[in-house]
Amino acid sequence: MPVIGIPVDMLRERIETSLSSDELVTKLQQLGCDVEGYATLRRFACQDCDWLMEITETENPPVSCSACGRDFKEFPDRRLERGTIEVLRMELLAVRPDMFDPAGLARTLRGYLGEKTGPVKYHLEEARVSVTAERALASPDSLDYRPIRCAVVRGVELNEDRIKVLMKLQENLHWAMGRDRKRASIGVYDLNSFDSTQGVRYRLVEPEGVEFVPLGKSERMTPRQILSDHPKGPPYAHLLEGRERYPLLSACRPDGSEVVMAFIPIINSEDTKVKHETKDLFVDVTGLESRLVEKILNMIVTSLLELCPGSTAEQVNIDWDGQEQPVVTPDFSYQSVEFDAALPLERLGLTDEDLFPDSTEVVTVEQRAHMVKALLERMGHGVEVRSDSGLLVKVPSYRNDILHPMDLVEDVAIAFGYHNIRPSLVPTFTVGLETPRSALMNRVREALAGQGFLEVLTLILSSEECQYEKLGRPNRESHVSLAHPISHEQTMVRTSLIPGLLETFSVNTDHPLPQKIFEVGRISLLDSDSEVGAREYLRAAAAQLGSRSDLATIKATAEALLTDLGFPLERNIRALQESDDAYHTFLPGRGAVIGDGSREWVWFGELHPQVLENFGLTYPVALCEVDLEALL
Amino acid sequence: MLSFAVQALYKVTHPNERESIPQQEIEGLASEPPRSPRPVGNSVAKGEIVHKVQEIDYLVLTALADQIHPVELSELCRLTGLDQAKVSAVLVTRNGAEIEVEERPYRELSVGKKAAAWAGVLPERRIIECLASGGGQLSMLEIAERTGLEPKDVGGTLKILKDREWATQSGKVLALTDEGREAAESEPGSDEQVFAVVAQSDHLVTDRDLRENRLPVEEGLSILLERKGILDIKDRVERYSALTEKGRAFIEGGLTPVREVNLLTPEMLKDGSWREVQFRPYDVTAATEPVWAGKIHPLVSVFEKTRRVFLEMGFEETESGYVESSFWDFDALFQPQDHPARDMQDTFYVGRPSDCNLPAEEIVKAVKDTHENGGQTGSVGWRYQWSRALSEKAVLRTHTTASTVRALAEKPTSPRKVFCVGPVFRRETVDYKHLPVFHQVDGIIIDDKATFANLLGTLEAFYRKMGFSKFQFRPAFFPYTEPSVEVFVWSEKKSDWVEMGGAGMFRPEVTEPLGCTSPVLAWGLGLERLAMFTYDLASIGELYKARLSWLKGVDLCRL
């Protein structure tokens, strides 16, 4: 999860309760925030584009603008010092986008601290601005489908801090909810940079069909040029792959000429950019699914209202050409959830004693219901008590995480405080039982450790080179292979434990001799009868490097192991033949296999010098590998 | 009692360094009959206290008692039948007490390399004699020819000839002086005499031998030593030993030899001779050869401890394969199909086999519906179109929750407690706390009566058994649990809370499509993290780097 920095002052000025630094951290942790701690950030602004950059005290000042790319080494006076800011660093709580910014976080804290419980009501003005959208963008069965939802926020008083917060919120919503703009993307514009009374157009254009100055540039570019040449083009070009026409948002100047607002979902235009002096904002969210788009719009608009006290939100009409009823957004209506107050108490294991520690009388169903109501209200929900324990919970429009009543159970638990829940044990008796495989693994470990072998663990992922080439074995293509390996060393799941042991020897050449090591673990082979197409086999392998690493020694080791494990006595030992896959691993005539007539499960011998050389070993090695499946 | 000096002497002798104690010494003492193992001295007969001494001390002391004059070391060896090392050991121990050792230095002389061919005559003598017989004046070449000297030896002697004013040089011709003529006719000088004796002797000559022959040793040597390479001299010492007054009294008091041995042998046990020997004490503080002990891997011991704790708490163990369908790894756990964790950036998709079979159709449909619209679970679902093809994609399991949820689906009835310990795979870039393969434990409790408080209680019991004593539970988010909780344990070392694992109650969106209507408590924990904490490791790589020295030395009792 990315780590975000919440400006401490902006958070504190929005809550009344006076909390020490530590108390604030504790309260945030009790709400589920993964707080790393306080940090002081240095700030620099780009004079060209007003972009604000923050760095930690140990980082070097930026050498170029991260927004417009201005080179500060060449133009040092374009980088402006903007002092420092104290932030609370915490992991982004992806499930609660309404808490990504200091204003939204303060809203949650106010409820949790009991300063302002229950739902926050946001007033909405009637629509004065209309968006006319092209039909293809609104038809789910169209390839060009990308619905739009919009809002206007008037009377914002912006400054550098607030713009920074807004930008970060937008960025984090893109990441967490928009799946990096794929599912949704957000645009914020200066409403007064165009004539809003003439409306806004959302339409499709040809790749060369329009020219405008994108953010961070000074020259006009076509969408096609932006996709290839603009810093934001190539990283997001895949979102428009296969489309013949691109979504464009535009408006009109007072003289009726067109002003481009954004090439969606790639970049906004310089013409409609938000500046410090911007008073009114136009906000759009587009995406692949209208419900998500509406949620994100609600989150960003309510956070803006929290961020800029005194501002008001205004709805926007969205006319899809050819459709009779315009869509009007944003819509701040609640999500209603029927909720039985008994559910959280039962699931959490909260008793009357937990809820009413001071009560001496019998607690009634109503009292419990009101307790749950109060807890939910501290989490920002509106609650009506309908019947004895039946509640109707009104989930605020900016919450996106209530999929099921159990999500409300968690809100009750958080409001009650995890630290206030008394841990107890399940009252039911059950009997422990280990798997035969685990039991066998331990018997093998005991047996081999008893013979003086040291257990090692090697990585289960390996390569064809190690498993076959270096071992002198044919690649039968019977292994599990990775579709997108990270490295050449790890392209498949191992089919033998031997390479891991030999690699262990090769990194311990400075260790005294003899070296005796073993591993017990699983290998994987394809199996078309299995549900998943492959299955694992339990194996053990023991190897000795140095003096007396000969066939007799390792045969004795293998036989002692078999005796310990109770292998049947009537077994056939035979020398490996050239037709055996394992033949070239061992010196000719010094490799052998033990089987029971129907199946072979123990291979042992003296390693072939070529194999030793392949693994960079300069001492003889004798080893055995045992397939333990026969014992399960 | 052995004296301090003897203990000091044996301090260098290591109990395990058998090879360093000459084997024949031990065997010799065991088999060779002692020369005079009977007690000696007057007091024996009187029944007074007898001094017990080691056999070698006994032999040396009694040998010296028979001598009037000090005895040289090799002679003493001959008298006692012991080798020099043993006799010396006795002398070192008893010097200044019972024995007085006198060191007599002497010099061993031999002809140097340079003078090996001179046959006992220094070249200056040959040259002046040659000049005297050759008319008093000869070229250096003629001198070499006539004397048989190497030209370089003639050249090398010029300085001596000039210094002694025996000859003068003009060009390549030497002329004899009057002093030279006189010298040629006189007796050889002290240096010549000494050189002649040393060169002509067929054994090693000492300065003492020369003195005994009344040669002018000191003067001759001092002249010869100024010239490099003519004589080789080695400083030697002879040790002469004699009993002191105290020593004689000691022997008079009566001596009994006691055999001292290093090792107890089966023979000693058989014939009872162990009663008569003394065992040489060891330096118990001396370092010993480290033992190569076979043992289990420290990380495995963490797995085993974890398994034992679960078994003690009444859990049945489950297992499943490394290759897993996306269905069981993600979909059954209500992870939406576009969840970032499912990206091929983070998850190892399997190339071969690329696809898996899905379970019974009703389960697949229930999961699909739950994703799309909540199905029968009362959830609103994720609201997207669920793809069967994505669900069939084979992955290397990203968590052991895939195993426990399979176990849940196999038998979704209360009450059950299930756990799984095993490797999981993530497409992680390797750093100090990430590896592409690591191990997890997952546990679930299916129980009609299970509560979130039970989950906290079970976690507390588990972590307490794992050796932790202070816990904190904080809200957290996981896609498949609600409510969710993260367990933090207190680290004295960091003096901070350390995150140790995640837990929660399985969402109804997980349990109900699999036919489970009971509450399910679930938790998971990365075991490498626990091992790093237990063994105080800075990097996860330490566990797999397989340094045998670390594996050998690590103390498994930390758990």
Do the beta carbons of residue B441 and residue B310 sit within 8 Å? yes
- Interface membership of A445 toward B (CB under 8 Å): yes
The answer to whether the Cβ–Cβ distance between A410 and B484 falls below 8 Å is yes
Q: CB count, 10 Å around CB of A277? A: 9
Q: Report residue A424 as tokens.
A: 């107890």
pLDDT at B39: 52
B window 232-261, beta carbon within 8 A of A: none
Cα separation, A112 vs A416, whole angstroms: 10
Closest alpha carbon to A44 in A54, A33, A35, A34: A54
Which of B318, B340, B457 is nearest residue A425 as measured by Cβ atoms?
B457
What is the mean predicted confidence (pLDDT) over A438-450? 95
Which residues in chain B are closer than 8 Å to A420, comparing Cβ atoms?
none
Amino acid at A379: M
- Interface membership of B211 toward A (CB under 8 Å): no
- Interface membership of B380 toward A (CB under 8 Å): yes
Question: SS3 string of A431-466?
Answer: CCECCHHHHHHHHHHHHHHHCCCEECCCCCEECHHH
Amino acid at B430: V
B window 504-533, beta carbon within 8 A of A: 505, 507-509, 519, 521
- Interface membership of B212 toward A (CB under 8 Å): no
What is the distance, to the nearest Å, from the Cα of residue B261 to the centroid of all Cα atoms in its chain?
28
Do the beta carbons of residue B462 and residue A423 sit within 8 Å? no
Under 8 Å CB pairs connecting chains A and B tally to: 275
Q: CB count, 10 Å around CB of B111? A: 21
Which residues in chain A are closer than 8 Å to B486, comparing Cβ atoms?
34
B window 260-319, beta carbon within 8 A of A: 292-297, 299-300, 304, 307, 310-319
Ordered strands of the B51-54 beta sheet: B51-54, B255-261, B277-279
A window 490-519, beta carbon within 8 A of B: 490, 493, 503-504, 507-508, 511-512, 514-517
Cis peptide before B353 (omega within 30 of 0): yes
Give how far Cα B194 sits from Cα of B105, B190, B210, B221, B411, Å.
19, 6, 8, 7, 109
- Closest chain A CA to residue B504: A410
Which of A292, A424, A503 is nearest residue B454 as measured by Cβ atoms?
A424
> B450: distance to nearest CA of chain A, Å?
6
Which residues in chain B are closer than 8 Å to A508, comparing Cβ atoms?
546-549
A52-56, A210-214, A348-352, B431-435: range with lowest mean pLDDT: B431-435
Q: Report residue A225 as tokens.
A: 């040029």
The answer to whether the Cβ–Cβ distance between A481 and B316 falls below 8 Å is no
Which of B307, B348, B505 is the best mutation test for A, with the most CBs of A within 10 A? B348
B window 437-476, beta carbon within 8 A of A: 437, 445, 447, 449-454, 456-461, 472-476
What is the distance, to the nearest Å, from the Cα of residue A131 to the centroid of all Cα atoms in its chain?
34
Cα separation, A299 vs A398, whole angstroms: 5
- Closest chain B CA to residue A534: B323
Q: Report residue B550 as tokens.
A: 């670390």
Cα separation, B358 vs A531, whole angstroms: 7
Q: Report residue A301 as tokens.
A: 């608009």
Give how far Cα A2 sits from Cα of A183, B6, B137, B500, Å.
19, 72, 107, 20
- Interface membership of B411 toward A (CB under 8 Å): no
Residue with structure tokens 């009057």?
Answer: B178
Which residues in chain A are closer than 8 Å to B385, comparing Cβ atoms?
none
DSSP A403: S
- Interface membership of B409 toward A (CB under 8 Å): no
Cα separation, B247 vs A303, whole angstroms: 105
* H-assigned helices in A510-608: 551-565
Which of A22, A90, A426 is the best mutation test for B, with the most CBs of B within 10 A? A426
* H-assigned helices in B232-297: 245-252, 266-271
The answer to whether the Cβ–Cβ distance between A438 and B294 falls below 8 Å is no
What average pLDDT does chain A have? Answer: 92
Cα separation, A468 vs A479, whole angstroms: 11
Cα separation, B335 vs B343, whole angstroms: 12
Q: Report residue A188 as tokens.
A: 């914020």
Q: Report residue A486 as tokens.
A: 């990270």
- Interface membership of B556 toward A (CB under 8 Å): no
Give how far Cα A132 sits from Cα of A242, B275, B455, Å.
25, 114, 54
A window 24-43, beta carbon within 8 A of B: 29-32, 34
- Interface membership of A348 toward B (CB under 8 Å): yes
Cα separation, B394 vs B326, whole angstroms: 6
What is residue B32's three-state secondary structure? coil
> A187: distance to nearest CA of chain B, Å?
23
The answer to whether the Cβ–Cβ distance between A430 and B474 falls below 8 Å is no
- Interface membership of B434 toward A (CB under 8 Å): no
The answer to whether the Cβ–Cβ distance between A484 and B379 falls below 8 Å is no
Cα separation, B535 vs A203, whole angstroms: 62
Q: Report residue B132 as tokens.
A: 């005297």
Cα separation, B141 vs B164, whole angstroms: 21
State in Å, rounded, how far the first CA of chain B is from the last one: 47
The answer to whether the Cβ–Cβ distance between A94 and B485 falls below 8 Å is no
- Interface membership of B502 toward A (CB under 8 Å): no
Give how far Cα A572 sits from Cα of A595, A600, A604, A608, Å.
5, 9, 13, 23
The answer to whether the Cβ–Cβ distance between A461 and B310 falls below 8 Å is no
Do the beta carbons of residue A96 and residue A401 sit within 8 Å? yes
Question: SS3 string of A599-631?
Answer: CEEEEEEEECHHHHHHCCCCCCEEEEEEECHHH
Which residues in chain A are closer than 8 Å to B453, comparing Cβ atoms?
348-350, 421-424
Which of A445, A497, A531 is the best mutation test for B, with the most CBs of B within 10 A? A531
Cis peptide before B483 (omega within 30 of 0): yes
The H or E element spanning position B170 is strand B167-170
Which of A348, A426, A536 is nearest residue B447 as measured by Cβ atoms?
A426
Cα separation, A188 vs A264, whole angstroms: 12
Give how far Cα B141 sits from Cα of A631, B119, B127, Å.
97, 20, 11
- Interface membership of A488 toward B (CB under 8 Å): no
Ordered strands of the A572-575 beta sheet: A454-455, A515-526, A534-545, A621-627, A600-607, A586-595, A572-575
* H-assigned helices in A83-122: 102-112
Q: What is the pLDDT along chain B (559 residues), one digit of tens a residue?
A: 434 433 333 333 344 433 333 434 444 344 444 444 455 555 444 445 677 888 888 889 888 988 888 999 988 999 988 998 989 888 888 888 889 999 888 888 888 888 877 888 888 888 888 888 888 888 888 888 888 888 888 888 888 888 888 888 888 888 888 888 888 888 888 888 888 888 888 778 888 888 887 778 888 888 888 888 888 888 888 889 999 988 888 888 888 888 878 889 999 999 998 888 888 888 888 888 877 789 999 999 999 999 999 999 999 999 999 999 999 999 999 999 988 888 888 899 999 999 999 999 999 999 999 999 999 999 999 988 999 999 999 999 999 999 999 999 999 999 999 999 999 999 988 888 788 999 999 999 999 999 999 999 999 999 999 889 999 999 999 989 999 999 999 988 888 898 889 999 999 999 999 999 999 999 999 999 889 888 888 888 888 777 888 888 888 877 7
Do the beta carbons of residue A625 and residue A602 sit within 8 Å? yes
Do the beta carbons of residue B473 and residue A413 sit within 8 Å? no
3-state DSSP percent of chain B in helix, strand and coil, to 5: 40, 25, 35
Which of A423, A486, A533 is nearest residue B436 as measured by Cβ atoms?
A486
pLDDT digits (tens, 9 = 90+) for A104-125: 999 999 999 999 999 999 999 9
For the whole model, what pTM was predicted? Answer: 0.78
Do the beta carbons of residue B484 and residue B490 sit within 8 Å? no
Rg, chain A, Cα only: 34
The answer to whether the Cβ–Cβ distance between A482 and B551 falls below 8 Å is no
The answer to whether the Cβ–Cβ distance between B456 and A418 falls below 8 Å is yes
pLDDT at B306: 95
Which of B297, B476, B477 is nearest residue A457 as measured by Cβ atoms?
B297
Give how far Cα A172 sits from Cα of A107, A169, A494, B207, Å.
18, 5, 40, 99
What is residue A594's three-state secondary structure? strand
A338-342, A485-489, B102-106, B255-259: range with lowest mean pLDDT: B255-259
Cα separation, B152 vs B137, whole angstroms: 19
The answer to whether the Cβ–Cβ distance between A449 and B294 falls below 8 Å is yes
